[in-house]
Amino acid sequence: MSAAWIQASSARAQRIQTLVRKRTADLKRINRRLVDDMIARERTEKALQHSEQRFRQLVSMSSDWYWEQDRDFRFTMVTGGFTEKAGIVLERLLGRTRWEFIDSIPDSEAGRAHIAQVRAHQPFANFEYQLRDDNGDTRWFCVNGQPVFDEHGGFAGYRGTGSDITERKLTEQRVHHVAQHDVLTGLPNRSLLQDRLSQAIAQSSRSGNPVWVMLIDLDRFKFVNDSMGHKAGDVLLMTVAARLRACLRDSDTVARLSGDEFVVLVSEHGEQQLTPAIVERVMNAVAQPVLLGTKEFFVTCSIGVSVYPSESTPADELIEHADIAMYRAKKLGRNNFQFYSPAMNEESLERVRIEGALRNALERDEFVLYYQPQLDMKTGKIVGMEALIRWQHPELGMVPPGRFVSIAEETGLIVPIGAWVMRTACAQNKAWQDAGFDKLRVAVNLSARQFGAPDLVEDIAAVLADTGLEPKYLEIELTESLFMSDITPAVELLHRMKALGVNLSIDDFGTGYSSLSYLSRFPIDVLKIDRSFVADITRDANDEAIVTSIIALAHNLKLAVIAEGVETGEQLDYLRRHGCDEMQGYYFSRPVPALEFEQLLREGRGLRPHETIAPAEPAIADGGAANSY
Ligand code: C2E
Ligand code: CA
Ligand code: CA
């Protein structure tokens, strides 16, 4: 029994012991797990702290900031040195939405889209907006945001980043400015002009207020550029640009189209109606003297105006039509303005037609030469003739030179046409001489374009050699425009031409710009008084003075003088009395075809010798007085 008890009690003790061991082991294990847990938690906490610190460091190092908003889009926090980075005290921002803080956001398309996106709890990226910082400086921010949802999927607000992009925006604006403005004058260029024009048209369509497009072209800018140099030309353009700006309102656009062409857009605003006085104001502003170096220059301009809305001008042809009107203003003698009219379009279409037809005219043999006699005032005899070109076109009819010579000059066609004139005139003159008529001089007009062509002197020499005409029976008429630019090569060329033995005359004398002092450097034989002076000599005291001065000047320089455009007996008398050497004009004969001219020669026609020669008025003694015109 006791043995059984002992056995039983030792078995219990053993069980207890096992239990105790087991518990102890459990406890140890739990303890170990606890310690492990603690270590792990500590590690996590450290890691968290670390990551938080890294995040803060990162945010403060980067130029961005981090922000959070509540479910009503109000800022709850912004980290990372926001105030320094953004120039805004944080407290001003907290508790407000972005569009409460910057009340201009709802004004823009992008701003309204942003607000809608946020209200729809969508993520957004690169939303850019402008604002003023605490110093009142303009800044640009760019923000990105993500909606935040709680564990039940409910919307809890937004978080995101922001950065200051002012530098980039300014650079972009500068690049944009450069791309849209003219470097020299700072005015809008053609591309920006197009934008402004579209805006003006759109506005006009809404308001019904008209828009005027003025195309302004400086008269004889090329002359300044060539004679004074490009720097002076630049100064002139900048001056004109500033004057155009100054004489218009800030809301008007002044753009530089190219070279010396400017465009002005003016729109009517309420009270201020558009009237031609505005165009005159622009012309006056341009026409003020400009100081270039030590010289004062007077530059005028020609302006073409097109109007929107108008029946004849669709929106996309406003500039083109202003250009056509400007061209017309130039043709009417420059320094004036013209409003576009459909008739002008006709004219420019005719230009295109003429240009096309002109290209074939030579090979189709459509040109003819007319000859106008030139007579000696003393003997009354025909001593020469001017060859004047005529164009007989199968459909256009007889086209006068006034309608095609300038086009031929612009296109360069004048070079082959002029060569044809030279050859035909010389051959005709030689043929008359060979037929036994008195030997006459033939005058041929040379355009500036031909003057600049290579081989000019060689070509003239070849014509003389081929036709057998003695050089002294050829006279070449040049205009003063040839000498406007750089005169040194011109002088050299004139000497080479003169060396051929031909005569040289200056046509339309008195209308150009030639400085009288140049004249003595040119190997010139004849001055041809422009017919505009002759037309008025018996009516206008100024023109009288000019004509008598030219005659006196020419004689002092040992040059002969011929008056062209003599239409009346009084004009003839006047010129005779003042010692003019020769005359040409309708009074004696119009330009006539070769056969008719031959008839004049055959009949021995001439001026009736002057019976009662009145005593000559005292001629101006020297060139001094002549300088005054
Ligand atoms: P231009 O050289 O001044 O020629 C004189 C112009 O005056 C001619 O006009 C002539 O018909 C006109 N005329 C002559 N006498 C009188 C007159 O008494 N009263 C009036 N009102 N006019 C008179 P046209 O033939 O129409 O020629 C016009 C211009 O065309 C010429 O002016 C000249 O610049 C140019 N031209 C004519 N033929 C040629 C040519 O073969 N080559 C070049 N390059 N130009 C030419
Ligand atoms: Ca002429
Ligand atoms: Ca002339």
508 Cα to the center of ligand 3, angstroms: 4
Count Cβ neighbours within 10 Å for each residue of 79-88 and write b for 16 or more, e otherwise.
Answer: bbebbebbbb
Contact between 370 and 593 under an 8 Å Cβ cutoff? The reply is: yes
Q: What is the pLDDT of residue 324?
A: 93
pTM of this structure: 0.57
| Residues framing ligand 1 (Cβ under 6 A) | 372, 388-389, 400-402, 405, 414, 418, 421, 445, 447, 507-508, 531, 564-567, 585-586, 591
517 Cα to the center of ligand 1, angstroms: 27
What percentage of the chain reaches a pLDDT higher than 70?
94
Residue 272 in this model has a pLDDT that exceeds 80: no
* pLDDT tens per residue, range 209-240: 999 999 999 988 887 887 788 898 999 999 99
- Nearest bound ligand to the CA of residue 482: 1
Q: What is the pLDDT of residue 626?
A: 29
Supply the residue whose CA is at minimum distance from atom 10 of ligand 1: 591
530 Cα to the center of ligand 3, angstroms: 6
Supply the residue whose CA is at minimum distance from atom 21 of ligand 1: 565
* pLDDT tens per residue, range 531-570: 989 998 888 887 788 899 889 989 998 999 999 999 999 9
Residue 624 in this model has a pLDDT that exceeds 70: no
Q: What is the pLDDT of residue 485?
A: 56
What percentage of the chain reaches a pLDDT higher than 90?
62
Residue 611 in this model has a pLDDT that exceeds 50: no
Q: What is the pLDDT of residue 63?
A: 77
Contacts 24+ apart (CB under 8 A), 583-588: 583/374, 583/375, 583/377, 583/607, 584/372, 584/373, 584/374, 584/375, 584/386, 585/531, 585/534, 588/373, 588/375
60 Cα to the center of ligand 1, angstroms: 85
Contact between 224 and 233 under an 8 Å Cβ cutoff? The reply is: yes
Supply the residue whose CA is at minimum distance from atom 26 of ligand 1: 401
- 3-state class (DSSP) for residue 335: coil
- Nearest bound ligand to the CA of residue 374: 1
613 Cα to the center of ligand 1, angstroms: 30
- Nearest bound ligand to the CA of residue 446: 1
148 Cα to the center of ligand 1, angstroms: 88
Contact between 547 and 577 under an 8 Å Cβ cutoff? The reply is: no
- Nearest bound ligand to the CA of residue 508: 3
- Nearest bound ligand to the CA of residue 509: 3
Supply the residue whose CA is at minimum distance from atom 17 of ligand 1: 565
Amino acid identity for residue 496 in this structure: R
Residue 625 in this model has a pLDDT that exceeds 50: no
Q: What is the pLDDT of residue 565?
A: 96
Dmax over CA atoms of the chain, in Å, equals 193
Counted residue by residue, the chain has a size of 629
Contact between 513 and 533 under an 8 Å Cβ cutoff? The reply is: no
* pLDDT tens per residue, range 463-499: 999 999 999 999 999 987 776 656 667 888 999 999 9
* pLDDT tens per residue, range 92-142: 999 999 999 998 999 999 999 999 999 999 999 999 999 999 999 999 999
With vertex at residue 78, the alpha carbon angle to CA 76 and CA 81, rounded to the nearest 5 degrees, is: 155
Q: What is the pLDDT of residue 367?
A: 97
Q: What is the pLDDT of residue 273?
A: 84
* pLDDT tens per residue, range 391-427: 999 988 888 999 899 899 988 999 999 999 999 999 9
Q: What is the pLDDT of residue 484?
A: 61
* Average confidence score pLDDT of the chain: 89
Q: What is the pLDDT of residue 423?
A: 98
350 Cα to the center of ligand 2, angstroms: 25
pLDDT band at 445 (very low <50, low <70, confident <90, very high): very high
* pLDDT tens per residue, range 497-527: 999 999 999 998 877 655 566 777 889 999 9
Instruction: Give alpha helix (H) positions in 120-258.
Output: 166-180, 190-207, 221-228, 230-246
The number of the ligand 1 atom at minimal distance from the alpha carbon of 444 is 41
The whole-angstrom separation of Cα 131 and Cα 35 is 55
Supply the residue whose CA is at minimum distance from atom 23 of ligand 1: 565
* pLDDT tens per residue, range 173-208: 898 888 999 999 999 999 999 999 999 999 999 988
507 Cα to the center of ligand 2, angstroms: 6
Amino acid identity for residue 302 in this structure: S
